[in-house]
Amino acid sequence: MSVRLEIAGKTAYIEHIIFVQIKRTDERGTLRVTNQHYLKQTKDSEYAFVLEGNNELFGTGALAEVGAHAHHLGMRRVALYTDPQVSKLPSLETVEKSLRDRGIRVSIFTDVEIEPSDRSLKAAIRFAEEDAFDGFVSIGGGSVIDTCKAVSLYASYPPKHFLDYVNQPLGKALPASGPLKPHIACPTTFGTASECTSVAIFNFVELGTKAGISNRAIKPALGIVDPEALKTLPAPVVAANGMDVFSHAVESYTARPYTQRPAPDDPTNRPVIQGANPISDLNCLEAIRLIGNNLIEAVRNPDDFGAREQLSFAGLLAGIGFGTAGCNLPHGMSYAVSGLVRDYRATGWPRDKPLVPHGFAVIVNSPSVFRFMGPTCPARHLEAAQALGLVDDGRLPGDLLADGLIDIMRTIGVPNGLRGLGYGDDDLDALTEKGWKQRRVVDNAARQISKEEMREIFAGALRYW
């Protein structure tokens, strides 16, 4: 049955509507559409999206339950992964005690690198291969959880070549050969939401870029999100985490809609990253709202636990959102920013080596991306700006969102664009070359861009104030 549809005063008849936001229905029964994001475009385009269940436990004090849930999942011999910083915090002691109290034997790996490299990942894999572990627990930020997710895959089904599980074009993106041993992920930050996604990221040192693994098998069996773990986060880390959450949410909300992907040849094998969809929209808009209401206060006032608790929930919501929708240009460009770092050392992170925290690497590109991509889906950029608490004052939606974000960046101490991280005009070609290779996320943008356009966006991100 065809439906009469009126868009901007023009009438059309279409055979299939996936999802539209309806402003009202007039007396003729004509649908007046304010958002065309999910109209089916061609007979060959995607018409469905996969909503996979997330097993997440959220609540203050929940870390003390790790042992009970590990025992329930059949764990009796656990490899516990963390990093040198978290290994000194009460959170690790809580998790270890909870496991041992249930009679579970625990071996601890504490050498996960912040922004892990292939070297760090390979060491973590060797640790897992040294004993007959029947489960994994990770406690730390996204670096720790991503490492443990990858370890669970590599240790269970060792590949012929290290890059076999890595996304194309760097690797072959091979699927897992079977189910993995259970993994409980316990975040002590709130930026990456790695506990609820099927993606793991690491730095591939030889190529000077980040590599990703997108594999449904590596999603943790359970995520335990305890906001109390955020009490120890320094203000700059809260700022970077908040920017990462914000970018996750906006990138997912403005990503290519799932209905613009080609329909799969095998309907049982839809990709992990599917594009913007109605479920990701709900999660991401609320995450943006929570960031707008709480991030500045959480950075300014470390004793405001209520604000940090709300940020913890925002991270979880955005993670569920981008876990199906996927990110796009800011994240694709961020991998070049992280991989090519020379001398930048951030306050609040180990200073023994140059490091651009992930949240900063992402957000320095975001205002420039919003200005450039705003005309492609203006309604989406306006809705994201309004969720952040901004008022439509007639500016172009991409500019409104970019300007509001820049105000937040200045307030919470984010570096002033790429120059604030040590990059300059002479680095634009190298940044573009590295960023252009991140096809998994670059191709998830609302429209395809050229390599020259990516360079233009990088140039726009050099400085904001």
Please compute the mean of the pLDDT values over residues 73-86 and round it to a whole number.
Answer: 96
Please compute the mean of the pLDDT values over residues 48-57 and round it to a whole number.
Answer: 87
Order of strands across the sheet that contains 135-140? 56-58, 222-225, 183-187, 135-140, 77-81, 105-109
- Identify the weakest region by mean pLDDT among 22-26, 179-183, 202-206, 334-338: 22-26
pTM above 0.95, yes or no: no
The highest-level CATH class for domain 61-225 is alpha beta
Residue type at position 275: G
Contacts of residue 306, defined as CB under 8 A and 6 or more positions apart, other chains included, come to none
Please compute the mean of the pLDDT values over residues 42-65 and round it to a whole number.
Answer: 89
CA separation for the pair 364, 362 (Å, rounded):
6
Q: What are the tens digits of pLDDT across the range 343-382?
A: 999 998 888 889 999 999 999 999 999 999 999 999 999 9
Same fold, 61-225 and 234-460: no
Per-chain mean pLDDT for the chain: 90
Q: What are the tens digits of pLDDT across the range 220-265?
A: 999 999 999 999 999 999 999 999 999 999 999 999 999 999 998 9
Burial 168-201 (b: 16+ CB within 10 A, else e): eebbebbeeeeebbbbbbbbbbbbbbbbbbbbbb
- Identify the weakest region by mean pLDDT among 4-8, 187-191, 360-364, 459-463: 4-8
Return the CATH architecture of domain 234-460.
Up-down Bundle (1.20)
The pLDDT value given to residue 35: 52
Sequence ranges of the domains in the chain: 3-39, 61-225, 234-460
Q: What are the tens digits of pLDDT across the range 308-319?
A: 999 999 999 999
